[in-house]
């Protein structure tokens, strides 16, 4: 099979680039795949093809974030390469944070179907499950109604794919009921790397409370810093808050503002963008991974990474994170997302109780190991084979 994958790809900073990397990496290992056509966004530096069988990957940089012509350039590349099937690594802000380019990019599944090209769209989030105000889109009720109308219209185009894959069972129920379709399936998010069982012992030095991601919309680190301040009021044990990542594209300057606000507070480290090769170190050094979220917008890649590195987690008791814990077997301490005191209490249950920390970490590693990215890409290959067979 000659498979095309439409995705952002490192060193891109566009959303889902890490997930795109691990999809392509694992597809390249499959004997059934003769070539992976990487239809990716344009970057100044060369694409990160640092894995086995990378010679099976052909790079076609054919789109740009917020470009109005992505739909044309991507289709031109597909016509030139003539893949047997196409996988789109997708979410609503994939092709831009401006309304028109973002919307135009979401028409691609429909156009591929119109051209009889076997297509699976991996939809990481659905608008029906996003709190637009908490997620940082808008708090204007009229604007929310407009977003929902546009989102519903664009979802209909995405559902023109041969198959739409979502990562949580509830998403299937919502889409089937609302849009009266029968082409939505669950393929779990999966764990990026299949790794050996990690050490569950702590590294020397301060206990590290780490948050990882793109911050500023529904991921707010102030509550995590305030929780650490509360913990320090009644413990002499050194702790460090590690903010690993960058601003969300929707909130440029957010982390700089946080750094200025807490410049006199000790024990806070901002790493900036974390290169793929440094991810194991960031997770490996952490005592606990925290999710200072006010909302959720899909299955959490960070939770799956935390599991793969054998880490205990603290999570807000809301939305998709709670569903993931139930469906995939993850475990963590929960907190009220509006209360720093609640977060502090959840953190203390882990950092002050090493037996509890290890038990949660081991359970999360078991959950992550059950759904490796190799297993997930096998599910996609099986799905493509069924689509191609149905078209014969």
Q: Give the CATH number for residue 341.
A: 3.40.50.2000
Cβ atoms 109, 142 nearer than 8 A: no
pLDDT in tens, 157-166: 999 999 999 9
Residue written as tokens 């999809």? 23
pLDDT in tens, 277-293: 888 899 999 999 999 98
Distance of CA 33 to the CA centre of its chain: 25
Residue written as tokens 């076609």? 60
Distance CA 88, CA 78 (A): 12
Cβ atoms 381, 264 nearer than 8 A: no
Q: Which two tokens stand for residue 212?
A: 């990882």
Q: Taking 80 as the threshold, does the pLDDT of residue 392 lie above it?
A: no
Give the pLDDT mean for 1-16: 93
Q: Does 115 map to a domain?
A: yes
Identify the three-state secondary structure at position 2.
Answer: strand
Residue 87 has what pLDDT? Answer: 98
Residue 218 has what pLDDT? Answer: 80
Distance CA 15, CA 17 (A): 6
Number of domains in the chain: 2
Q: Tally the residues of the chain.
A: 392
Give the pLDDT mean for 26-35: 96
Strand order in the sheet with 333-335: 268-272, 239-247, 207-215, 288-290, 312-316, 333-335
Within this chain, do residues 165 and 232 fall inside the same structural domain, yes or no?
A: no
Q: Does 179 map to a domain?
A: yes
Q: Is 44 exposed, middle or buried (0-12, 13-18, 19+ CB in 10 A)?
A: exposed
Q: Does 243 map to a domain?
A: yes
pLDDT in tens, 193-233: 656 788 899 999 999 999 998 898 888 999 999 999 999 99
Cβ atoms 39, 60 nearer than 8 A: yes
Q: Is 223 exposed, middle or buried (0-12, 13-18, 19+ CB in 10 A)?
A: buried
Residue-range definition of the domain harbouring residue 333 = 207-369
Q: Does 197 map to a domain?
A: no
Q: Does 256 map to a domain?
A: yes
pLDDT in tens, 115-135: 999 999 999 888 765 554 454
Within this chain, do residues 109 and 86 fall inside the same structural domain, yes or no?
A: yes
Within this chain, do residues 158 and 269 fall inside the same structural domain, yes or no?
A: no
Within this chain, do residues 264 and 138 fall inside the same structural domain, yes or no?
A: no
pTM of the model: 0.77
Within this chain, do residues 7 and 81 fall inside the same structural domain, yes or no?
A: yes
Within this chain, do residues 384 and 305 fall inside the same structural domain, yes or no?
A: no
pLDDT in tens, 232-259: 998 888 999 999 999 887 788 999 999 9
Higher pLDDT, 104 or 323: 104
Within this chain, do residues 29 and 168 fall inside the same structural domain, yes or no?
A: yes
Torsion angle defined by CA atoms of residues 322, 323, 324 and 330, in that order, rounded to the nearest 10 degrees? 50
Intra-chain end-to-end CA distance of the chain, in Å: 15
Give the pLDDT mean for 370-381: 91
Higher pLDDT, 374 or 139: 374
Q: Taking 60 as the threshold, does the pLDDT of residue 137 lie above it?
A: no
Higher pLDDT, 141 or 107: 107
Cβ atoms 48, 276 nearer than 8 A: yes
Residue 28 has what pLDDT? Answer: 97
Distance CA 255, CA 292 (A): 14
Distance CA 361, CA 378 (A): 27
Strand ranges for 29-142 from DSSP E: 35-41, 57-63, 85-90, 119-123
Identify the three-state secondary structure at position 28.
Answer: coil
Give the pLDDT mean for 158-177: 92
Residue 37, beta-bridge partner list: 4, 58
Within this chain, do residues 20 and 168 fall inside the same structural domain, yes or no?
A: yes
Residue 135 has what pLDDT? Answer: 45
Give the pLDDT mean for 297-301: 63
Cβ atoms 325, 315 nearer than 8 A: yes
Give the pLDDT mean for 355-362: 95
Q: Does 309 map to a domain?
A: yes
Q: Which of 134, 178, 118, 186 is nearest to 323 (CA)?
A: 186
Average pLDDT, the chain: 89
Within this chain, do residues 120 and 72 fall inside the same structural domain, yes or no?
A: yes
Cβ atoms 22, 374 nearer than 8 A: no
Q: Taking 60 as the threshold, does the pLDDT of residue 139 lie above it?
A: no
CA atoms within 13 A on the CB side of 9: 29
State the pLDDT confidence band at 391, using cuts at 50, 70 and 90: confident
Within this chain, do residues 363 and 379 fall inside the same structural domain, yes or no?
A: no
Q: Does 199 map to a domain?
A: no
Within this chain, do residues 386 and 349 fall inside the same structural domain, yes or no?
A: no
Give the pLDDT mean for 86-114: 91
DSSP for 203-232 reads: PSSSEEEEEEEEESSSB-SHHHHHHHHHHH
Contacts of 49-54 with C-beta under 8 Å, sequence gap 24+, read 51/25, 52/28, 53/28, 53/29, 54/28
Residue 132 has what pLDDT? Answer: 45
Within this chain, do residues 163 and 20 fall inside the same structural domain, yes or no?
A: yes
pLDDT in tens, 63-97: 999 999 999 999 999 999 999 999 999 988 889 88
Distance CA 367, CA 66 (A): 37
Distance CA 130, CA 132 (A): 6
Q: Does 202 map to a domain?
A: no
Q: Which two tokens stand for residue 314?
A: 């603290």
Cβ atoms 164, 184 nearer than 8 A: yes
């Amino acid at each position: 099979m000659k498979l095309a994958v439409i995705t952002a790809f490192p060193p891109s900073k566009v959303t889902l680039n890490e997930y795109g990397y691990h999809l392509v990496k694992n597809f390249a290992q499959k004997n059934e795949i003769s070539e992976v056509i990487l239809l990716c966004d344009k970057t100044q530096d060369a694409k990160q093809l640092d894995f086995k069988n990378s010679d099976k990957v052909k790079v076609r940089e054919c789109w740009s974030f917020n470009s109005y012509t992505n739909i044309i350039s991507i289709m031109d590349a597909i016509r030139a390469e003539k893949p047997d099937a196409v996988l789109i690594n997708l979410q609503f802000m994939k092709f831009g944070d401006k309304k028109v380019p973002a919307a135009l990019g979401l028409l691609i599944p429909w156009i591929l179907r119109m051209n009889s090209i076997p297509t699976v769209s991996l939809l990481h989030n659905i608008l029906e499950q996003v709190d637009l105000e908490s997620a940082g889109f808008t708090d204007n009720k009229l604007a929310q109604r407009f977003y929902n109308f546009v989102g519903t219209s664009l979802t209909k185009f995405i559902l023109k794919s041969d198959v739409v894959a979502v990562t949580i069972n509830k998403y299937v129920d919502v889409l089937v009921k609302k849009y009266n379709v029968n082409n939505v399936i669950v393929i779990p998010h999966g764990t990026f790397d299949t790794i050996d069982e990690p050490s569950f012992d702590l590294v020397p030095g301060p206990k590290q409370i780490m948050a990882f991601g793109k911050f500023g919309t529904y991921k707010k680190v102030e509550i995590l810093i305030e929780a650490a301040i509360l913990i320090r009021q009644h413990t002499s044990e050194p702790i460090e808050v590690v903010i690993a990542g960058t601003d969300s594209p929707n909130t440029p300057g957010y982390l700089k503002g946080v750094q200025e606000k807490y410049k006199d507070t000790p024990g806070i480290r901002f790493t900036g963008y974390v290169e793929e090769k440094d991810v194991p170190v960031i997770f490996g050094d952490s005592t606990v991974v925290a999710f200072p979220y006010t909302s959720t917008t899909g299955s959490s890649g960070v939770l799956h990474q935390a599991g793969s590195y054998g880490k205990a987690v603290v999570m807000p008791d809301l939305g998709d994170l709670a569903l993931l814990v139930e469906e995939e077997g993850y475990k963590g301490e929960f907190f009220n997302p509006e209360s720093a005191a609640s977060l502090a209490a959840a953190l203390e249950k882990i950092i002050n109780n090493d037996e509890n920390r290890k038990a949660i970490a081991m359970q999360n590693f078991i959950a992550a190991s059950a759904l490796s990215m190799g297993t997930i890409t096998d599910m996609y290959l099986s799905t493509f084979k069924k689509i191609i067979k149905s078209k014969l």
